[in-house]
Structure 1
Amino acid sequence: MTAKSKLFYGDNLDVLRSGQIPAESVDLVYLDPPFNSNKVYNVVFDRMGDAQAQIQAFDDTWKWTTETDDTYNYLVNEGGLPPEVADMLESLRSIVRETNLMAYLINMTPRLVELHKVLKKSGSLYIHCDPTASHYLKVVLDAIFGAKNFRNEIIWRRTGAHAPRSSFGPLHDTILFYTKSDSYYFNVIRRPYTKQHVEKRYKLQGDGRWKFTSGGNVLTGAGAVKTGESGMTWRGFNPTLKNRHWALPKFVADQMPEGFEDLGLIDKLEAAYQAGLIEIVPGAAWPTPVRYLQPDDGNPLGDIWAYQPGTAGCLAGTDAAIDEDVAYLGPTDPERLGYPTQKPVGLLERIIRSSCPEGGTVLDPFCGCGTTLDAAVKLGYSWIGIDITYLAVDLIRNRLRNTHGDSIDATYEVLGVPADLAGAHALFAQSPFDFERWAVSLVRGTPNQKQVADKGSDGVVVFATGKKSRAKAVVSVKGGKGLNPSMVRDLEGVVSKTKNAEVGILLTLHKCTKGMRDAAATAGSYTDWVGNKYPKIQIFSVEELLSGARPKLPPIVPPYTEAKKRVDTGGQQSLFESPERVSEKEGVSEEEAVSVLAADDGVDE
């Protein structure tokens, strides 16, 4: 990577306005903000099969409140937006009124203005949304980016099937693609031709190559040229006599070795002829160029990205189905990390490869479970991620470690999370629950459910007790000053009552008392399967954790499920198993396929 990547914990609007991301420094922005769909989404963790172990990630509802009205007045009447954008928002309110959708647009507009500022002039923005909001967001983006900089409305198939009773099944999301100017980076990606097309238009040669002879006079262009080599006679053919000139097609040059471009035109014609890329058929009016099917040949991607179950094997050079690299994630897909709105890595890879130049930087201001960042790391790009929940920050850090190894930590910095004791106190004052999440993450644990009665447990650390068996360390976090030995005894009781729990870890913001240390020392020890002993109750202050202290435990199991990838036999695309894919390959129903994947992944249906 050309620059150290950054992961911000905080409100993306605050981060963008702070100047921590310089103006015109980002090549590509992708954002997948919460939709206006009135759903509460939960992140489900792999915690020893506990179906209740989930954390409410975000309430996917933008509600019109008095605060929303105040924000609107600031943006429109007090200079919070550029005048043309404020006028647009005012016009939208006259249509949409004081609805939750309008609240959504009011929240999104200033963020999109700030994202426009950090984009390079050659940069692009992709915003992922659903059909309920896409046309309104397009009006907002037209005002900010200019309607002339709208490039595409991409339709992405997000699910396999829906069966509504009074409308057509809603199968797609919308991705709006804008650029900051007319001079933007774009890399054309091609999808393989179908085998039927290749067999119809090409002929298999003895050496295994597929040959296509274009036919017709495509080695010359209209109009005679009296000077230079383009009007000269070559191998008995004189283009000037027919008021034409030599014009070598690019596809011929692309098939020639390095140094070909340095030759003169007549020498190029001869070299291509000697290489078998120009044919002279007796009696033909003109020589004809020859094209061989190349591994990267195919149709340029269009604006409909729809995985097609049942098409596996129909594309030339691969066993993958059409658009399988951007296939939607099934409910038991091994790539899933628990976010119901999680997008496949292949979708982000396609966007990054299309619109981020080599050495460029990708920004995701709603980075959630980190799919954009994961894809950027895989492809070798610098990245910036922002999320308002510490849950997401912790999940992303673990996801990157699980996928790319612990060494990934050295390639990026985390900003907005406590780096010292003062920062820890500030976080506790701001959000005691986020403080709990952060403290649990310091010991590589999984935080507890959101703002519910914790019954003495704020999270767990899962560790190995054998090749396949697991046990828990219960984590309790205390941010207040009133510390006493009864907290140690309470934790000891929680450990004894918790299934598969063997150890208790007490984390404190303030220094614990001598009485607490003495109580922990009398709690005894846990002996693992090879005879190693570990203190039954272990106490650490935040200050100690920030200095590098860690619990003494057997090998820790990563707190988040790792996304497991399977690669197709064609070697061209990453495939992610879904019930539909298994159904197609194994000849079973999708219901049976769900059972197969559930059993394969070791999870309950």
Structure 2
Amino acid sequence: MSLSALGDVDIYHADSLEVARSLASESFTLIYLDPPFNTGRTRSRPPTVAPDSAPATAVPYAGFRGRSYQRLRGDLRTYDDTFDDYWGFLEPRLIESWRLLADDGTLYLHLDYRESHYAKVLMDALFGRDKFLNELVWAYDYGAKTKRRWPTKHETILVYVKNPARYWFDSDAVDREPYMAPGLVTPEKAARGKLPTDVWWHTIVPTKGHEKTGYPTQKPEGILRRIVQASSRPGDRVLDLFAGSGTTGAAAAVLGRHAVLVDTSAEAVAIMSARLRHAHVHADADVSASDR
């Protein structure tokens, strides 16, 4: 495990589970997880950790129609023979993330259509259905389109809160977006824009855009900026266990949060380190300008 620090961002080059287990309980207001999607392609990753190694307190919940958590896992394994391996990788990291989440904290799990429905059922069983807050749909219209089915142009973000009575959510802090039919609202409302709903229309990172790092699964800063604005406060701690190109850290740095980023890839760590040096330059410039 290696650790480097860039201002308010700590970057770990290590396995995400190893790092998560080393961190203090309830120390993060926001946790964003964008794990490798279960596409069926070969991925380089550490050996699977057996789900049975999870703490006993993590699995007592009844799930869908009252079935036990272990029964749910068995049922889903029957329908998808690749599922158990994927969940064996992801489940212990989710359990640790839940331990690390503060009482007023929020967990965002970013998946695609192959796994989001499985994850919803099992996270309900793992954490409790009352902890589920939202299903966010990030929709975009870019890239190749098949003519043999409806083209898949969205990803899903599942949102869970540690304590439904106390979680932090600040809609006033979120950047607003244009109305799709501005003529139907007053000029004042049109100028202000509207609060985003649970469907987010946002382009992917443009090939020649200023954000582009070359990292293959890079997410746009606009998506992470919205998440950080809504579910954390300035000075709060934000965790990303699959940090990739460092988008979470870039958004957090500009917004005055402390980010902890983890990735097993040396390439990812190099990319995010270079990117965040620039992010801190811009953040410092914004602070200096506001003081004048």
Q: Identify the TM-score tier after normalising by the shorter chain.
A: 0.7 to 0.9
In structure 2, what is the equivalent of residue 395 of structure 1?
Answer: 271
Aligned-pair RMSD on alpha carbons?
2.9
* Aligned with 2:196 (options 282, 301, 311): 301
The answer to whether the 8 A contact 2:254-2:279 is kept is no
- Residue identity in the other structure for 2:203: A
CA contact (8 A) 2:59 2:125 kept: no
1:91 equivalent in structure 2:
72
Residue 173 (structure 2) pairs with residue 173 (structure 1): no
In structure 2, the residue matched to 1:339 is 215
In 1, Cα distance between the equivalents of 2:25 and 2:245?
A: 26
Q: Which residue of 1 aligns with 2:53?
A: 75
In structure 1, stretches of 5+ residues that fail to align are 41-58, 203-209, 211-292, 307-325, 409-605
Partner of 1:107: 89
**Further displaced range: 96-105 or 361-370:** 96-105
Equivalence map 1:309-348=2 (5 Å): 326-348=202-224
Contact 1:155 1:303 in 2 (8 A): yes
State the number of aligned residues: 267
Q: What secondary structure is seen at the aligned counterpart in 2 of 1:22?
A: coil
CA contact (8 A) 1:61 1:100 kept: no
C-alpha displacement of 1:195: 3.3
Structure 2 counterpart of 1:384, from 257, 260, 271? 260
* Structure 2 counterpart of 1:347, one-letter code: I
Pairing 1:195–2:197 present? no
Structure 2 counterpart of 1:82, one-letter code:
A
Which consecutive residues of structure 2, in runs of 5 or more, have no partner in the other structure? 1-6, 63-67, 285-292
The 2-side partners of 1:60 and 1:38 are apart by 12
Structure 1 residue matching 2:183: 3-state secondary structure: helix
Q: What are the within-5 Å matches in structure 2 for residues 142-181 of structure 1? A: 142-181=124-163
> Are residues 356 and 298 of structure 1, via their aligned partners in 2, closer, same or farther at CA, if it must alter by over 3 Å?
same
Amino acid at match of 2:122: V
CA contact (8 A) 1:121 1:180 kept: yes
User: Alignment identity in percent?
Assistant: 33
Q: Which residue of 1 aligns with 2:247?
A: 371
Are 2:217 and 2:244, in contact at CA under 8 Å, matched by a contact in 1? Answer: no
The 1:142/1:377 distance shift into structure 2, 3 A limit, reads same
**Structure 1 residues 189-215: Cα deviation after superposition (integer angstroms, max 9, x where no partner):** 3434443134xx45xxxxxxx5xxxxx
Give the one of 113, 118, 125 matched to 1:131: 113
Structure that is richer in helix per residue = 2
Over 3 Å counting, the alpha-carbon distance change for 1:89 and 1:386 in structure 2 is: farther
Which one-letter code corresponds to 1:302 in the other structure? Answer: T
Contact 1:26 1:362 survives alignment (8 Å): yes
| Cα contact 1:5–1:383 (8 A) shared by 2 | yes
The structure whose Rg is larger is 1
TM-score normalised to structure 2 length: 0.81
Assess if the C-alpha contact under 8 Å between 1:126 and 1:178 holds in 2: yes
Instruction: Give the superposition deviation at 1:150.
Output: 0.8
C-alpha separation in 2, matches of 1:303 and 1:387: 28
So what's the TM-score if we normalise by structure 1? 0.41
Instruction: Tell me the amino acid that sits aligned with residue 98 of structure 2.
Output: H
Distance 1:355 1:140 in 2: 23
Q: For 1:152 and 1:406, how far apart are their aligned partners in 2?
A: 32
Q: Is the Cα–Cα contact under 8 Å of residues 8 and 253 in structure 2 kept in the other structure?
A: no
How many angstroms apart in 1 are the aligned matches of 2:35 and 2:218? Answer: 11
Q: State the 1:336 CA deviation.
A: 1.6
Q: How has the CA–CA distance of structure 1 residues 376 and 105 changed in structure 2, closer, same or farther, with 3 Å as cutoff?
A: same
Quickly say closer, same or farther: Cα 1:374–1:407, change in 2 above 3 A: closer
Q: CA deviation at 1:80?
A: 6.4
Task: Deviation per CA, 1:380-434: give whole Å up to 9, x if none.
Answer: 11111111122222221111123434999xxxxxxxxxxxxxxxxxxxxxxxxxx
C-alpha change, 1:39 and 1:336, in structure 2 (3 Å) is farther
Tell me the alpha carbon deviations over residues 304-359 of structure 1, each in whole angstroms, 9 at most, x when there is no partner: 111xxxxxxxxxxxxxxxxxxx3212344442211221101111001101111222
TM-fit CA distance, 1:301: 1.5
Q: How far 1:107 sits from its partner (Å)?
A: 1.1
- Residue 371 of structure 1 aligns with an amino acid whose one-letter code is T
Deviations 1:443-484 (A, max 9, x none): xxxxxxxxxxxxxxxxxxxxxxxxxxxxxxxxxxxxxxxxxx
